[in-house]
Chain A
């Protein structure tokens, strides 16, 4: 059974239209390679006898009761088997159209694929759809198995017609099959043993073909990429190491390398490579789940992409063009908020544009569709809530792939083909340059928070004119000050005539530059550990987005003061009525306590 494990192990997916015989071929391979557990074959035969059903090799896989009732393989079950050469892990992709998401699950992890086509039925919808999906999922080694040759009297012409038709289809996708093999899974022709019924075929058997597939090489020779899973500090366990943890997606990293994290652009040097019960490592390579510490205490979080300063940098944008496949019953539509996940980053995303929808089963294109339906493949543009770091398909595949989450479920996946300009690009570039060149203090953010007993935060109080924003802000400052907090009220006027003196006033075209400078000043104050209170008239969501580009979004709290909400701002707190400075500032203080920015008294 599964008693040999080795570096040559190959993940294999078997795809194809429903009832074309995938499970039969797997069952036959298991039986013919003596890969079944002792007694399994007899047990299944016995079950068939009890139920007066003829034995089929496919039953070997149908271990589940309800699956046998349906007679179709409903999931990408893993099956282990081995030849003299190596072990295989079959991810049994089902053919029923309803189950494409299972097939994707299996196929995404495969290094090679067998695509099964029924000789008597010919190329069907899912023969093509699965071929298309395999190409999108990046599977490069495909062998096409023309099954049930016994049903067409082992006829060479029938076989050749299928070979010609499917070769042409694959060519349209820019793919080529390694080989085509005529077989009968039921009778065993050309599966493990060469068939005597098809003397016109001189190629490999299925097993010979499997053994000639190559193991997929991990992307060693690419720029280093590691999506940050988290930054660990287990102080409670008496451990002061601050470890950036993740799995290396591409390339390699050494102690002493300068690393840059995107989208923030923050930079430091690798101090140690950490492990548990391992020899001290000086280098870590692709595929390894690892962790490292840095020379300087920079503040980074899950979702950043680590790269090396001496290698090509990833793309950073809040707008992407992508090729996408959709798996959910609900359509993908505009005007709805989804989550998009790349590596460990997760951002809100809206579908901005559908360039074209491709029918995966025949490659017809539709440029007029307004929504993307289940099993569609499409080229689209997504607008993201905030920028993230990624690579482009064709450059580093591992970091160009994303999934879309709709209503708690992974609903589709895709590969990014282009990083597009977005509204905040100009600010982000400045911020990344600032972060890249930031002179690091010896005191960390945590140290300051501990010392001042507060989390540095920007409190934005906004609303219409004359609703009491400034009195509230000043009262809040006084109140927190009296509580012993490090707090500062920053009047906009104090900026306008100083930091902003070189920008013409009252000119709307400069609003963004004003905001950028406000945000940069805020960033300095926050870095110093302060709680900063700022008022602004009718802040919009896009204004906030711009500020977020500069100031860590987790360090911003927004308060809308006044009855009428006149912008699209997604605020943290709404205070409809300005009753008194005391009461309103008290409400804001409550928000800060709720968020753990300051502590409630015992």
Chain B
């Protein structure tokens, strides 16, 4: 087995454990490269099927191509697609792009709060109806007790501390100092009522692993990752107003891989283009404790 085979098998093993051990499970899909690879791994784990609902948190500021790509794949791969959003904040317009909030406040509302309340069922969920080809209000408000997330350990400091199966308490809190032990392919699959578990099948993958896997498996990626002739592309995706492109002429997966291996990005962190990481020394960890991915 080569390096990618090993990563693939471990991730599939984790996805299957999660599927068997949790009754109410979902997978967060941001439409970015990591969670799309995770989705692909789920199709492999379940032999072409995805028996787990996919949850997308739609801030309404997502770059439009992302939503298009999401719905295209949802149709093509027959996905059980669900989205949720902070309808109140959006209605009131209390967002950063409106000048009514700071970066972190805006992320806190549109991402963290929306995620928390979509997962626990406090807020509305919209589910894709394949027959009608539209999203409709979902009756199911059951809280998800297992949430599969595409975080990678190499992204930044706080993520390197995660477990494959990482508990969150009633308040969605993450006690970094007191995490369960995890060894011999045995994971925390037992949990007290009211708590839930985050599951991280991609924890051991690096950014380059992800791209090499996309290359090997020919996984369809949203076009934003590639230069469309203007010498710019996204390296990391998020909300339009807060995610910057990088200067790059990589227009294919092969070129992205080559650029990461030998080019100018081989020594620059991936989230460099994300504003919220810089605003506060430990900002991301704070967001992370609150549930932000």
Q: A residues within 8 Å of B by Cβ?
A: 1-7, 9, 37-38, 47, 63-67, 74-75, 77-80, 89, 101-102, 104-105, 107-109, 137, 218, 229-230, 232, 234, 237, 239, 241, 243, 245-247, 274-277, 285, 287-289, 291, 302, 327, 339, 341, 344, 401-403, 405, 408-410, 413
Contacts and interface: CB of A to CB of B under 8 A. Distances in A.
B160 A77 contact: yes
B2 A7 contact: yes
Contacts of A285: 1
Contact of A2 (B45, B46, B49, B206): B206
A229 B176 contact: no
Contacts of A288: 1, 5, 9
Nearest to A37: B269
Nearest to A109: B183
Interface stretch (B100-108, B135-143, B184-192, B230-238): B184-192
A408 B158 CA distance: 24
Contacts of B274: none
Contact of A241 (B5, B47, B51, B207): B47
Contacts of B131: none
A405 B183 contact: no
B64 interface: no
B186 A239 contact: no
Contact of B48 (A4, A63, A276, A289): A276
Contacts of A80: 154, 206
A84 to B, nearest CB: 15
Contacts of B212: 5
Contacts of A2: 154, 206-208
Give me the 3 closest cross-chain CB pairs, A-B, nearest first.
Answer: A63-B157, A108-B183, A101-B181
19 contacts: A2-B207, A7-B2, A37-B267, A38-B267, A64-B157, A64-B158, A75-B179, A77-B161, A80-B154, A101-B181, A102-B181, A107-B183, A108-B182, A108-B183, A229-B16, A234-B51, A277-B44, A341-B186, A402-B186
A35 B153 CA distance: 16
Contact of A234 (B2, B6, B46, B217): B46
A47 B208 CA distance: 29
B78 A66 contact: no
A289 B16 contact: yes
Given A63-B158, A302-B20, A410-B183, 7 more contacts: A37-B268, A63-B157, A78-B203, A80-B206, A108-B184, A229-B16, A230-B20
Interface string B90-117: 0000000000000000000000000000
A229 B1 contact: no
Interface in B162-180: 163, 176-177, 179-180
Given A78-B154, A243-B47, A408 B190 contact: yes
A275 B44 contact: yes
Contacts of A104: 181, 183
Given A5-B208, A77-B160, A408-B192, A137 B16 contact: no
B282 A65 contact: yes
A413 B190 contact: no
A276 B43 contact: yes
A78 B47 CA distance: 31
A409 B188 contact: yes
A107 B17 CA distance: 22
Contacts of B16: 229-230, 245-246, 289
A104 B160 CA distance: 16
Contacts of B227: none
Nearest to A343: B185
Contact of A276 (B6, B9, B44, B160): B44
Given A65-B282, A234-B46, A247-B9, A229 B17 contact: yes
A105 B181 contact: yes
B8 interface: yes
Interface residues of B, number: 64
Nearest to B192: A408
Contact of A403 (B1, B45, B176, B186): B186
B87 interface: no
A81 to B, nearest CB: 11
A410 B260 contact: no
Contacts of B177: 66, 74-75
Given A5-B209, A275-B44, A409 B176 contact: no
Contacts of B209: 5
A57 to B, nearest CB: 15
Interface string B194-217: 000000000110111100100001
Contacts of B176: 64, 66-67, 74-75
Contacts of A38: 267-269
Given A66-B176, A229-B17, A230-B16, A401 B184 contact: yes
B245 to A, nearest CB: 19
B48 A239 contact: yes
B190 A339 contact: yes
B229 interface: no
Nearest to B181: A101
B51 to A, nearest CB: 7
Interface in B119-167: 153-154, 156-158, 160-161, 163
Interface centre among B176, B206, B209, by most A CB within 10 Å?
Answer: B206
A237 B50 CA distance: 9
B261 interface: yes
A413 B8 contact: no
A374 to B, nearest CB: 12
A70 B259 CA distance: 39
A107 B185 CA distance: 13
A494 B3 CA distance: 63
Given A229-B16, A289-B12, A339-B190, A89 B181 contact: no
B71 interface: no
B261 to A, nearest CB: 5
A5 B185 CA distance: 23
A418 to B, nearest CB: 19
A287 B1 contact: yes
Contact of A408 (B46, B181, B182, B191): B191
Nearest to B212: A5
A137 B182 CA distance: 12
Q: Which of A37, A275, A413 has the most CB of B within 10 A?
A: A37
B3 A7 contact: yes
B13 interface: yes
Given A65-B281, A247-B9, A239 B161 contact: no
Contacts of B269: 37-38
B153 to A, nearest CB: 4
B252 interface: no
